[in-house]
Structure 1
Amino acid sequence: MMGMGMDMHKGGIPWLDQPVMLHSSRADKCKLTPAQCAYRNNHWRYWYQADNVYALNTVYFLCAIIGVFTLSNLLVRLSPDWVKRMRVWRATTSISRYLAYRGYRLPVVRYWSPSLGVILLGLAGAAFFFAMTLGPKPYYWPTDANYGSSPPIATRAGWMALGLLPFVLALSAKANMISALTGIPHEKLQVFHHWTSYAMFVLALIHTFPYVIYHIWKGDMVKQWNTSIVYWTGIIALLAQTYLTVMSLPGIRNRFYEFFKATHIGAAVIFMVFFFLHCDFRLSSWDYFIAAGSIYLFSLGAAHIRTYLMHGFHTATLELLPCGLVRVTVPTVINWTPGQHVFVRFLTSDLHLLTAHPFTISSACHNPDEAGKASEIIFYIKPRHGVTGRLAAMAAKQPGFCKKILMEGPYGGVSPHHMSQFDTLLVIAGGSGGGFSLAMVDEALRLTEKPKPGQGRRNLQVVFSTRDVAMADWYTNEIEARLSKSTTISLNDNSDGFETSISVHVTSNPARDPINDSAISFTLPDAENPPEKKMPSPDITATGSFSLNIHRNIRPDIPGLIARSVASAHAQGTHVGKKQRIGVLVCGPASMLHDTRNAAALAQTRTLGGEVEELYLHSEPFAW
C-alpha cells in the first residue's frame, strides 16, 4: 500500500527488494529545478518523510484520544469520595454519561446507533482522516516534470492506513492494553475495532485507485501489472481485507457468524503477510508491523496463559430446559464479578473447536471455604445454528451429559464495590438476557449478607420481559427460588438489605396461555409461610418480603420505570437526609437497550439538578 519510491530489483527473494533491510534509505537527490524541488519537498508532499507526516500523525491522534480516557479512568479510580461529591464532578460525570448512554434509532432499517459519545468520536476521526487525505494538494503530480511515480493522495492514504494497523489489532483482542489503560471493557471497544477497520479499508481503496488512474493515463498499466510484483501483493492484501470488511458488517456477520468466526483468522493472516510484503521495508513501514505484532501477541499470550495455564480444562454439564434454554454448569475455582462473561471453547471434533463463544455468567461467585464447595459458573444459552444448536440436540438426547471446555476470561461486568454503593438497583432483562439478571439478583442478595454500615434498607426492582410463556415460567421459578432462600437472612435484619419487587411481562398472546389477562401478584410475608399464587387485594412489599407481579400482553414501560425510580430515590433521600445512588443494569435485545439507554441519559438531568447522587447504567447487548 506504500508509494513506489524504489524500483524492484531482480534476483534474490522475488517478493522483496534486495538487500533486505529494516528501513529503506531516506537519501534523496532532486534533479529538478530549484523551484520544482522546493515544490516536491514541501512538508505535505515529500515522499521521503511521508511516513512521519501521515502515519505518525495518525498514531499521535489515536494515542491522544486513548490518553484522554486513560486520564479519566485514573481520576475516577484515585479521586477520594469528597471530590466525587463536588458539584463540578457530578456535573462532569452526568454530562459524560449522557453522551455515553444517548442513542438513536432508524426504524425503517431496524438500526440502533451507538451512543452519542461514540458517534462524536467517530465524527472526530472522520474529520481527521478527511482533512489529512483531501486537505493537502495536489492529488496527482503536475505534468511539467517527473516528480515521482507515487500520486500524493495515494501516498498519504497508504501511510495513514498503515498507521491504523496497530490499533485495529489492539482493539480486536479481548485482553487488550487499551482496556487496561482506559477501563473500558473490550466489548465496548468493538465498535472502534470495526470503525478503524472500515477507515483502513477506505484508505486502502483511496491508495489503490490513483495508481490505476495514473498508469492508465501514462499508458503502461498492463506493463506494470505484468512486471511489478508490488501490484500482485497489494491486490491479494486488498482482496483479503475486502473479505474481512464485508463479512464483518453487522447484518452479514450475524447471519453467517459461525462461518466468519472459522475463516476470519485465515483471511487476516493472508492480509497481514501480503500487506507486509507489499510494504517491502519502505522507509519505516515495517516498524508498524513490529508494533502491531508485539501488541497483538502480548494480548494473545495473556489470554492463553489465563486459559490454558491458570484456568485449565473444565467439565461442563449441559441440560436442556423445558423453556428451550440450555443450562451449562461448570464447577470452577475462577473468580468473577457480576455481569462478567467468558469465552467458551467446546472441545468438539469439528470446526467448532476453532471458535470460542461469549456467554454471560448467570451466577454469583462465592467463597468456596464458606460455602463448602466450589463455585459454579452457570450459563443459560439460547440455541441457534452452529455449536449452540448442536449442544441443544445433544442435551436433548442425553440429559446431564458432560463436555470438556476451555474458558477465556472473565471480562467486563460491574465491580462488587460499585454494586455495594447503590441504594436502588433496577435490573432489566429480556428473553435469554434473564440469565444476566439472575446473576445480578444473586449478587444483590449476597450483599445483604454483608451490608454496608449505615446504608439502611435499599430497593431492588427486577423487570423481565419475554414473548414465551415457558420462558416466563422458567424465570419465575428461578427468581422465586433465589428470593425465598434469602428471606431468612432478610428477616434477621430489619435495617439493612433489599426491599424487592419483581415484574415479569409476557408480551405474546398464544392460544393456550395459563396466565390470566390481569396482573397476578403474590407476596412472601416470611420464611415460614411459602408463597401461594393468589390474588391479594393490595400489591405490598413489606420488610423481609418480596412481591412478584406477572403481566400479560403489557410491555414494560422502561422510561416510566426509570423516571419513577429516580423520583422515589429523591423522596427517599429527602426523608433520610442523604442523596441516593441508582444503578440500572440491563441485558436484552437492541430495542430494550435503546429505550433503557435513552431513559438513563434523560435521567442525568435529574442528577445535574441534585435530586440524586448518581445514576449509573451497565448494559449487555446480545451481539457486539
Structure 2
Amino acid sequence: MAAPTVVKDVLNPALYNNDDIEVQFYQQRKEWPWTRGGVHALAWVLFAGGLVLIFGLLNLRDILLDRRRLGYTLANNNKHRVLSSQRSLFDRMSLHFRAFCYLRSSLTGLATTSLGLGILILAGFLYPLLYVFSQHPYYEREPRFGPPPLAGRSGMMALAMTPFIILLGMKANLISMVTGMGHEKLNVLHRWLGFVCGFFSLVHSVPYIIEPLKNGGWGKLTELFNGNVTYWNGVGALVCMFWLTFGSLNFIRHASFPRAWCYEAFVHLHIILGVGYVGLMFWHCANVLTSWHYLYATCVVWVLHLLYRFIWRTNWFGPRLFSGDQAHFTPLTDDGVKITVPTRMRWQAGQHIFIRIPSISLLDNHPFTVASIMSNDAKDCGYNDLVLVFKPHKGFTRRVFDISRTRPDVSYRAYLDGPYGGLSRKLEAFETVLMVAGGSGITPIVAHLQHLASKIHKGEALTRDIRIIWTVKRFQSLEWFKDEISAAARGLPRNMLLCQYYVTEETAIELPKGPVSATREWPQSPITPTFRQPPQAFLRPPGTSEAEKEFQLQIVEKDVGSSSDDELHEFPFPAARSVTPIPPMGDEVLLEFGRPPLRDGLPPWSETFGRRTCIYVCGPQSMKVDVANAVADMQSDIWACEEREEIYLHSETFGW
C-alpha cells in the first residue's frame, strides 16, 4: 500500500488553511509564491554586502598604496624620490569624489553627516523602498489566498537588516576591520539603518490592518487579533523597535535634565529593549521561511562581540585576576583633568578606550581618547602610561574632577575596554600633515605628533612638514600639553613643525620682555578688563643656545574688538601686514587671539603643501564643517597642479 502524499505548506499554517485546494492551486501558479519570500531578505544582504565590499577594496587600495610609496622611497634612501605621479582614471575620479563627498552643511542636525555619507544613507533607504513598492501586487485577490505581498517583501527586508544594525553598533566589528572606519563613525549608519528598519517594519504591519478593515471592518480586525497571538507579539516587537529608533534621537538621549541620568537610562534601556525585540521576533516569525537565519546571525554577532570584548579587550588580568589597573588623577589648569593608568594594554596613536571605575560609578563606561603613545622599551610585555585628558561635564567626569581637586593622591581600580578606532592610514606616508584641534580635541593630535616624531627620528617617515592649529578658550588650556609638544619638537629637524594657537576668550595682552618658550609659563589673563591695549604686532627673534632647542613664541596680535570679515578672510596672520601670508616652517609657536578662519584661510595655505597631504581635524562640529568644506575646495587645486597628488581628510568623531 502506497504511503499518502504529504503536501508541503504553501502558506504560514498558523494563519492560513493549507488544506484549501484553491489556495494551493493559487500559490503554485504564482510567479512569486509565499514560499519564495526568503529571496526578498537575500536582496538586502547582497546590496549591503556589496557596499561593504566596495569600501573594503577602496580601503585596501589606500593601505597598499601608502605602504608601497613608503617602502619604495625609504628603500632608495631618498625622501624626495617617490613613485611616478602619473594619474590614472581612478585617481582623477577620486578627486571629484572627494570634492563632492567631503562637503558638509552647517545646519544644525546635518553637520555630523557629510554629503557623501548622506548619499550613502539615502541609497540605503531608496533601494529597499523601490524594491518593496515597485513590485505588484500589494494585496492578494482574497485574504484567504495568502498574506499581502507588500507586507511579505517589507517584513523580510526589515528582518534582513537586523544583523547589520547590530554589527554597525558594535565597538569591535567586521565592517570596521574591512572598511577601516571606526565604530564611532559606523554608529551614524547604525542609527539611520535602525530608522529604515523601523519604517519597513511599519510598512509590514499596516497591510495586516488595512486588509481586514476592507473585508469585514473593525469586527474582522478584532477577531483576528483575539484569535491569534502572532499579531500581539508582532505589536510588541514593533513597540520595541519604535523606542529603539526614536528613543535614540539626540533630544531624548541628551535631555537637559537630568542629562547624565537620561543618557545612562537610554543606554541600559536600549540594551534591554534590543534583547526584547530579538526575543519577540523569534516568537513572531516562528521559524517560517528563512526568518530565523537572520535572527541567529544577530545573536551570533552580538554574543561573539561581547565575548571578544570581555576576554581580549578588557584588562581583567592585572597583577591579580579581575584586579584591573590603578588610575591616578591629576588636576590641570582651566578645569582640566588627567587620568594616568599604568597598563599592559597595547594601543596606537589616536585610538580611544572606555574606562570603568566601579568605586566611582559601577555602571558608567565612558570613552576617552588616549593622549599618549607606547614607549619603545615596553611595547612587548611591559607597562605603559595610558594618559587621558578631558574637561568635566556632568556625571562621571564631574565626579572625577571633584576627586582630582580634593584627593589627588588617591588611586582607583579601573577597567579599560579597548582600544578602538584610530586612523586606518599611515600619517608617516604623507609629506605634509596638518592637524586642527579645538579644546580637548588636541588629545589624539598629541599622540599622533609623538608617533610621527618617533618615526621621523628612526628615518621611517616621508613627512617633512607638520602643522598644528589649536583653538582654546583660555591661556590655561595651553598648559595641558606644552611639555609633550615641546619634547616632540626638540626631536624633530629644524623647520619641520609649526604650531599655531588661537585663544578665543582672552583679551590680547603684552608678553614679558625676552623670549617665552613653550616649556615655560604661558601668559596670564589681565586682571581687569581695563588692561591697556598692546602695541603693534611684532615678532620675537629666534633665541640662542638652549632656547633654540625649544619652541620660540612669536606673537601676532590684533586690535581688541576688531573682528571684521576682511580680517577673518586673511590667513594665517590677519593683523600682521608686514609678515608674509605663509609662515616660515620652523619649530615656532605662533599665538593669535580670536577664531581661526579655517573655511577661507586653509585653501590659500594649501599652496605650500607637499605632494600628498593628510588633514586631521578633531573638535566641535562647526570646526569640522569648516575644515571639511575647505578640503573639498582644495581638490580642484590638485586637479590643476601636477605637483600634488592627494589631500586626504580624517575627521575624528565624538559625542556619539
Candidates 49, 58, 63, aligned match of 2:36: 49
Report 1:220-231 matches (<5 A).
220-231=220-231
Deviation at 1:220, TM superposition (A): 1.9
Deviation at 1:83, TM superposition (A): 7.7
Q: 2:176 is matched with which residue? A: 179
Conserved 8 A contact 1:523-1:548: no
Alignment RMSD: 3.3
Which letter maps to 2:124?
A: G
Secondary structure at the aligned position of 2:50 is classed as helix
Which letter maps to 1:299?
A: H
Secondary structure at the aligned position of 2:375 is classed as coil
Q: 1:444 is matched with which residue? A: 452
Candidates 544, 549, 568, aligned match of 2:590: 549
Deviation at 1:113, TM superposition (A): 4.8
Q: 1:424 is matched with which residue? A: 432
Which letter maps to 1:568?
A: T
Q: 2:209 is matched with which residue? A: 212
Question: 2:59 & 2:555 partners in 1: Cα distance?
Answer: 50
Q: 1:161 to 1:523 in 2, by over 3 A?
A: farther
Conserved 8 A contact 2:315-2:415: no
Q: 1:521 to 1:429 in 2, by over 3 A?
A: farther
Q: 1:325 is matched with which residue? A: 336
Question: 1:522 & 1:284 partners in 2: Cα distance?
Answer: 73
Secondary structure at the aligned position of 1:505 is classed as strand
Secondary structure at the aligned position of 1:105 is classed as coil
Question: 1:167 & 1:66 partners in 2: Cα distance?
Answer: 11
Q: 1:98 is matched with which residue? A: 99
Q: 1:16 is matched with which residue? A: none
Q: 2:296 is matched with which residue? A: 290
Q: 2:613 is matched with which residue? A: 582
Secondary structure at the aligned position of 2:254 is classed as helix
TM-score scaled by length of structure 1: 0.83
Candidates 266, 270, 279, aligned match of 1:264: 270
Cα-to-partner distance string for 1:456-494 (whole Å, 9 max, x where unaligned):
x8222211112x31xx3232x34442344345544xxxx
| 2:557 counterpart of 1:566 | no
Deviation at 1:183, TM superposition (A): 2.1
| 2:111 counterpart of 1:112 | yes
Conserved 8 A contact 2:551-2:589: no
Which letter maps to 1:207?
A: H
Which letter maps to 1:506?
A: V
* Aligned-pair identity (%): 28
Q: 2:651 is matched with which residue? A: 619
Report 1:111-130 matches (<5 A).
111-130=110-129
Which letter maps to 1:485?
A: A
Unaligned ranges ≥5, structure 1:
10-24, 491-495, 570-578
Deviation at 1:158, TM superposition (A): 0.9
Secondary structure at the aligned position of 2:342 is classed as strand
Secondary structure at the aligned position of 2:288 is classed as coil
- State the number of aligned residues: 572
Which letter maps to 2:377?
A: P
Secondary structure at the aligned position of 1:380 is classed as strand
Question: 1:84 & 1:257 partners in 2: Cα distance?
Answer: 52
Q: 1:271 to 1:4 in 2, by over 3 A?
A: farther
Q: 1:345 is matched with which residue? A: 356
Q: 1:6 is matched with which residue? A: 13
Which letter maps to 1:5?
A: N
Q: 2:443 is matched with which residue? A: 435
Which letter maps to 1:259?
A: A
Secondary structure at the aligned position of 1:502 is classed as strand
Cα-to-partner distance string for 1:134-173 (whole Å, 9 max, x where unaligned):
1112222234x7322x222112111111011111111111
Q: 1:531 to 1:85 in 2, by over 3 A?
A: closer
Q: 1:130 to 1:408 in 2, by over 3 A?
A: same
Secondary structure at the aligned position of 1:354 is classed as coil
Deviation at 1:524, TM superposition (A): 5.6
Which letter maps to 2:104?
A: G
Conserved 8 A contact 2:182-2:420: yes
Conserved 8 A contact 1:519-1:550: no
| 2:196 counterpart of 1:199 | yes
Question: 1:284 & 1:567 partners in 2: Cα distance?
Answer: 57
Question: 1:289 & 1:224 partners in 2: Cα distance?
Answer: 26
Question: 1:361 & 1:503 partners in 2: Cα distance?
Answer: 22
Cα-to-partner distance string for 1:545-587 (whole Å, 9 max, x where unaligned):
62222222x2101134432342012xxxxxxxxx622121110
Cα-to-partner distance string for 1:27-64 (whole Å, 9 max, x where unaligned):
89751596x5577x232xx2221122x11111111111
Deviation at 1:184, TM superposition (A): 2.1
Deviates more, 1:77-86 or 1:296-305: 77-86
Q: 1:37 to 1:433 in 2, by over 3 A?
A: closer
Conserved 8 A contact 1:140-1:152: yes
Report 1:217-616 matches (<5 A).
217=214, 218=216, 219-255=219-255, 256-308=262-314, 312=318, 313-348=324-359, 352-369=361-378, 374-414=383-423, 418-452=426-460, 455=462, 458-466=464-472, 468-469=473-474, 472-475=475-478, 477-486=479-488, 488-490=490-492, 496=493, 499-508=496-505, 513-514=525-526, 525=543, 528-529=546-547, 546-552=587-593, 554-569=594-609, 580-609=611-640, 610-616=642-648
Question: 1:211 & 1:152 partners in 2: Cα distance?
Answer: 11
Which letter maps to 2:595?
A: R
Conserved 8 A contact 1:105-1:113: no
Report 1:22-33 matches (<5 A).
30-31=21-22
Q: 1:542 to 1:597 in 2, by over 3 A?
A: closer
Conserved 8 A contact 1:464-1:504: yes
Deviation at 1:253, TM superposition (A): 2.1
Deviates more, 1:478-487 or 1:598-607: 478-487
Conserved 8 A contact 2:315-2:416: no
Question: 1:434 & 1:527 partners in 2: Cα distance?
Answer: 30
Q: 1:566 to 1:531 in 2, by over 3 A?
A: closer
Q: 1:533 to 1:284 in 2, by over 3 A?
A: closer
Which letter maps to 2:355?
A: V
Secondary structure at the aligned position of 1:379 is classed as strand
Which letter maps to 1:360?
A: T
Unaligned ranges ≥5, structure 2:
1-9, 70-81, 256-261, 319-323, 509-523, 557-575
Q: 1:521 to 1:235 in 2, by over 3 A?
A: farther
Deviation at 1:359, TM superposition (A): 0.9
Cα-to-partner distance string for 1:114-133 (whole Å, 9 max, x where unaligned):
12221222222222111122
Deviates more, 1:77-86 or 1:593-602: 77-86
Question: 2:122 & 2:140 partners in 1: Cα distance?
Answer: 30
